[in-house]
Amino acid sequence: MIKNRLAKWVFGSTFLVTMLLPAMAFAAEAEVVGEWQAYVAKAFAAGLAMGLSALAAGYAQAKIGSAGAGTLAERPEASVWIIVLQALPEIIVLLGFVASILIVNMPVTPA
């Protein structure tokens, strides 16, 4: 359950970036627009995909980190699990990174 307002905001933004912006980039390419507009749209979409996914991962890692510190204070034997859990959100950044590369490498067809 997402109760925190910031969590909702970050989740919503990431969703928008990963779902809508690549679609916008495709749309920009399909529409009759100039070549430079398509490049700008792609760069913008790629930047947001990377940036917001990094922010989301940072948020997740902050939460996991504080909970992990709490667990380690009482159960030091769980340290391996904490490290694994702490690293998991990196996948979000990797997905953002891959998405941004795909967006940047899309061919631009001149109008």
Partner 1 sequence: MSDATTSTRRRSAVSGNDYGYANARIRGMRSRLFDRPFLDRLIEEPSVPRLVQDLTETEYGPDLEEVLIHGLDATNVDVALKNNMVRTFQKIMGFLNPEAAYLVTTLLGRWDIFNVKTILRAKHMHLSIDELKDGLLPAGQLTPVDLEALSSVDDVRTVVDTAATWGLPMAAALRDGHGEFMHTGELASLELALDRYYTEWAQERLSRRGANTRMAQKVLATQVDVANLVMVLRLQSADVEHIDIDQFFLEGGAVITRELYTALSRMSDIDEVLGRLRGTAYGRALDDVSMTYLEQNSISVFERALEDLFTRRTLGIAKGDPLGIGVAISYLWAKQNEITNLRIIVKGKSVGMPVDRVRKELILV
CA 85 to chain centre: 18
Looking at the Cβ atoms of 74 and 110, the one nearer to partner 1 is: 74
Residue 36 class from Cβ within 10 Å (0-12 exposed, 13-18 middle, 19+ buried)? exposed
Looking at the Cβ atoms of 8 and 63, the one nearer to partner 1 is: 63
Looking at the Cβ atoms of 47 and 65, the one nearer to partner 1 is: 65
Looking at the Cβ atoms of 68 and 96, the one nearer to partner 1 is: 68
Least spacing, CB of residue 11 vs partner 1, in Å: 15
Q: Please give the radius of gyration of the chain, using alpha carbons only, rounded to the nearest integer.
A: 18
Least spacing, CB of residue 14 vs partner 1, in Å: 20
SS3 content of the chain, % helix, strand, coil (to 5): 85, 0, 15
User: Which residues in this chain contact partner 1 in the complex, by CB under 8 A?
Assistant: 1, 3-4, 63-64, 66-71, 73-75, 78
Nearest to 108 by CA among 48, 49, 22, 37: 37
Least spacing, CB of residue 73 vs partner 1, in Å: 5
Least spacing, CB of residue 91 vs partner 1, in Å: 20
